[in-house]
Chain A
Amino acid sequence: MTIGGPRGWHPRLQMPCLRKMERMIVSMQDPDMGIKMRNQRLLITVIPHAMTGNDIVEWLIQKYGISEEEALHLGNLIVKHGYIYPLRDPRSLVLRADESPYRFQTPYFWTSTKWPATELDYAIYLAKKNIRKQGDLIEHEKDNYNLLHKRINHTWDFVVMQAREQLRAAKQRRRGDRIVIDCQEQAYWLVNRPPPGVPNVLEQGPERRNCHTTRVQLTKNMDYYKREIEYCRKAMARTRVKSSICLEGYIKFNEQYVPHDPIMSGCLPSNPWITDDTTYWAMNAPTVTTPTKLRVERWGFNFSELIMDPLGRAQLLEFLKKEFSGGLQGYTPSHEALDVAHEGVQCHDPLSSIVSPSPAENLSFWEACEELRYGEQSRIAEIVDSIYQQFLAPGATRWVNIDSKTMERTLEGIKTPHRYVMDDAQMHIYMLMKKDSYPRFLKSDLYKNLLAEAIIPPETKKRVFPFMRKQRHSSPSPALLLPAGDAEERSRSPSTAPVPEEES
């Protein structure tokens, strides 16, 4: 994790949230619509242009129409980033929704303005504190002070001189102003040099755009523009669909699937994450004897749902086998199947080339092609050959019927086998199953029986005493469970052993 980022990194650019916060702050100070400021009493001093924590929260609620919890959360973040600071208890950047007084940070001390926070400035700040408190600094500040003293020893005289000068100038100010400036400065340093245990809000995670030399360069030469032009031409030629039709599509999809969405519609018998009862998972395991009703219904949504569910696929296979063994006499291909089969049919007996010798083999062929597409690189030639021998070779035992054009292309491609060589054939067979076998499956007795016998699990009886919920607790970190021989891991995380907590 980097603090600050590489050269050229500026928070206003890379943290759009800061700019937005600044805009919020400005509108908070709007004379008409902003927060009503007044004088706040701090012990014996009166500080002008201040507001209470409550004012801030109320204003956020009004302005953005959010709840009190959210307003408090948002206000807290604004304070954490140093845009508003507390007058009472200035060492802790926390927003309290009560009468505690707060003030807006001067833009001079905004993180995005006074960037970066240099070591020199920090040294001067600590030196001032050291002088004022006569050496009695807080622990981490003392450590930092000593560290800096060592690191920039060569300019230490300058540091002390500056510190003394600033303190002298401060003495000439009114007490109220002095307190304010001290608070402002302290808030700035709390954000830029957070004390241990307080998360650093300026941390941005791994550096982005950090190194141009390791970037794969896209040189904008002639080839680049030629590719751009090609891409634009292709893109302009594509058919687009009206947005309204797309949205209608979402609505339809939503209507179909919402009853199946456990978060939206609940799940029967109960959601295991809430009740700790895992029956739901047992009933919906990949292979069960009797599937649930919702699951069987889902197979009717589209072909993909059926074929992607291992249970569904098994049922489809059974159906296809039954059809075949039930006799070809009973098998009349649908119009779609006829169209598909007619593509590129040669002039021999039309009937023999239309009737698929075995629809069940289509599914096996499709599965074999999937294995090729997602399989290991080293086995490609082997798998291609196996597919050819089983499904495509003349006289193959599990011959699948592909139109001759596709067959020609595929056989040609097999000579130089690669991962996608079966794509055309696979698509052809997939479409055949989708347009022919699938609709018949849905109308079949097999499917109707599955629907009838499918289970609708009863809802788990509600506990009699619902408030006696099981105690929730967190699991310990897996780091604790590592075998003893792992010296590497141990050495890196010696003191971060987490403790399991109780949480209700």
Chain B
Amino acid sequence: MATEGLHENETLASLKSEAESLKGKLEEERAKLHDVEQENADPPMKFLMSVDTVESGLDNKCSVYPLTFEKNENMAAKKKSVAMHTNYLSACSFTNSDMQILTASGDGTCALWDVESGQLLQSFHGHGADVLCLDLAPSETGNTFVSGGCDKKAMVWDMRSGQCIQSFETHDSDINSVRYYPSGDAFASGSDDATCRLYDLRADREVAIYSKESIIFGASSVDFSLSGRLLFAGYNDYTINVWDVLKGSRVSILFGHENRVSTLRVSPDGTAFCSGSWDHTLRDGFCRFFGRHGSEAADQSSTIGNAIMAAAAGIGMAGLAFLLVR
């Protein structure tokens, strides 16, 4: 007589209600240690302002281009297709070395790939909708990453086991961009609900919101300055807002782009940041007009080398990848 360990009470409905009630209790637990209120603070502070790639695509693939400084080298010919999802790829990143890639896709999953063989090493399931962004943790152990998706959730994953460690759901709309705070204890997210939020991993909750009534367009891309004091966020209203992370107030607003800002990154040494936009241009944080693409600049990542301060790869409508180095 096979009961197979199925207790009488373990029907789908009872499991579902147990899960729901546990979720409720979990939220209560998370709220218990929240003993601060965010105040929107004083007048903004004054400060001085001085700003090997991967691409992901609408062809559901992730391609790796070897970088070279030789002028006549046709990089497109050497490209190698690594990852393959069942829907568009929204984000990708090398892990600590050049030999692994982490990707996020519109099919709702993230995946870790071996570059050389193209083999899938680990996949991460849990988002209920398209995953739009990801960022690797700068921690000593280097084992986790955070992803954000159209299900309004930001999830922290263990790369080794593929399990979700923590999840945060306080945004009102799609999360377009996530980035870790330099210490690795927190991360910021930018969303279509026109807010950026800071989530602390030890407190296991959202600890700050960066929003203003006059900002009604979604934030497409966020990044911290080197010390984590400033949060730069590019918005769909063509502007870049600079937030004071600790005070929660906006420090500055930057104009200059003529269409939505789709991507933004601070250089690894923290000397500048660069923004890419649908107006086909890239501008550095000193409003210096950097270059013009044949089409939209959609994604960029900073490399590790010192001479390449902001390497930008633009994905044109024609599916080309460009590389701009200083």
Contact B225 A493 (CB under 8 A): no
Shortest A325–chain B CB gap in Å is 28
B33 contacts chain A at the CB level, 8 A cutoff: yes
Q: Which chain A residues (222-265) contact chain B, with CB distance < 8 Å? A: 222, 225-226, 228-229, 231-233, 235-236, 238, 240-244, 246-247, 249-251, 253-254, 257-258, 260-265
A461 contacts chain B at the CB level, 8 A cutoff: no
Contact B99 A374 (CB under 8 A): yes
A414 contacts chain B at the CB level, 8 A cutoff: no
A349 contacts chain B at the CB level, 8 A cutoff: no
Contact A215 B108 (CB under 8 A): yes
Contact A477 B166 (CB under 8 A): no
Contact B320 A475 (CB under 8 A): no
Q: Which residue of B lies closest to A255 (CB)?
A: B227
- As a 0/1 sequence over residues 258 to 279 of chain A, the CB contacts with chain B under 8 angstroms (1 = contact) are 1011111111001111100000
Cα–Cα, bound, A459→B204 (Å): 43
Contacts of B140 in A (CB 8 A): 303-304, 430
A116 contacts chain B at the CB level, 8 A cutoff: no
Contacts of A238 in B (CB 8 A): 204
Contacts of A420 in B (CB 8 A): 160
A218 contacts chain B at the CB level, 8 A cutoff: yes
B side interface size, CB within 8 A: 131
Which of B99, B205, B293 is in CB contact (< 8 Å) with A479?
B293
A503 contacts chain B at the CB level, 8 A cutoff: yes
B288 contacts chain A at the CB level, 8 A cutoff: yes
A20 contacts chain B at the CB level, 8 A cutoff: yes
B67 contacts chain A at the CB level, 8 A cutoff: no
Kindly specify which of A37-45, A63-71, A106-114 makes contact with the partner chain.
A63-71
Cα–Cα, bound, A17→B238 (Å): 13
Cα–Cα, bound, A1→B130 (Å): 17
Shortest B186–chain A CB gap in Å is 7
Contact B225 A264 (CB under 8 A): yes
Contacts of A497 in B (CB 8 A): 294
Contacts of A221 in B (CB 8 A): 12
Contact B107 A199 (CB under 8 A): no
Contacts of A482 in B (CB 8 A): 74, 76
A-B pair count, CB < 8 Å, reads: 322
Contact B19 A489 (CB under 8 A): no
Cα–Cα, bound, A13→B128 (Å): 17
Cα–Cα, bound, A413→B246 (Å): 45
Cα–Cα, bound, A1→B295 (Å): 12
Shortest B128–chain A CB gap in Å is 6
Which of A242, A258, A503 is in CB contact (< 8 Å) with B203?
A242
Kindly specify which of A135-143, A155-163, A172-180, A205-213 makes contact with the partner chain.
A205-213
A501 contacts chain B at the CB level, 8 A cutoff: yes
A478 contacts chain B at the CB level, 8 A cutoff: yes
Contact A228 B226 (CB under 8 A): no
Contacts of A430 in B (CB 8 A): 140
Cα–Cα, bound, A216→B149 (Å): 14
Contact B230 A263 (CB under 8 A): yes
Shortest B22–chain A CB gap in Å is 4
Q: A222 with B12: in contact, given A216-B125, A243-B207 (CB under 8 Å)?
A: yes
B322 contacts chain A at the CB level, 8 A cutoff: yes
Contacts of B121 in A (CB 8 A): 377, 419
Contact A247 B318 (CB under 8 A): no
Cα–Cα, bound, A273→B287 (Å): 11
Contacts of B194 in A (CB 8 A): 16-17, 20
Q: A254 with B246: in contact, given A243-B200, A263-B226 (CB under 8 Å)?
A: yes
Contacts of A280 in B (CB 8 A): 271
Can you list 27 pairs linking A and B with CB atoms under 8 Å apart? A1-B317, A17-B192, A17-B218, A215-B108, A218-B108, A235-B26, A240-B30, A243-B34, A250-B183, A250-B185, A258-B227, A261-B226, A261-B227, A263-B225, A281-B306, A281-B309, A284-B306, A303-B140, A375-B97, A375-B99, A377-B116, A419-B121, A420-B160, A478-B293, A478-B322, A489-B320, A492-B318
Query: What residues of chain A have their CB less than 8 Å away from a CB belonging to chain B?
Result: 1, 16-17, 20-21, 24, 60, 64, 66-67, 69-70, 73-74, 77, 199, 205-206, 208-211, 214-216, 218, 220-222, 225-226, 228-229, 231-233, 235-236, 238, 240-244, 246-247, 249-251, 253-254, 257-258, 260-267, 270-274, 280-281, 284-286, 303-304, 370, 373-378, 419-420, 423, 427, 430, 472-479, 481-483, 485-486, 489, 492-493, 496-498, 500-501, 503
Sample of 20 further A-B pairs with CB below 8 A, known A225-B15, A376-B116: A16-B192, A69-B255, A209-B129, A240-B33, A247-B246, A249-B183, A254-B228, A264-B227, A265-B48, A271-B271, A273-B51, A374-B95, A374-B100, A376-B114, A376-B115, A475-B324, A478-B323, A479-B322, A483-B72, A492-B318
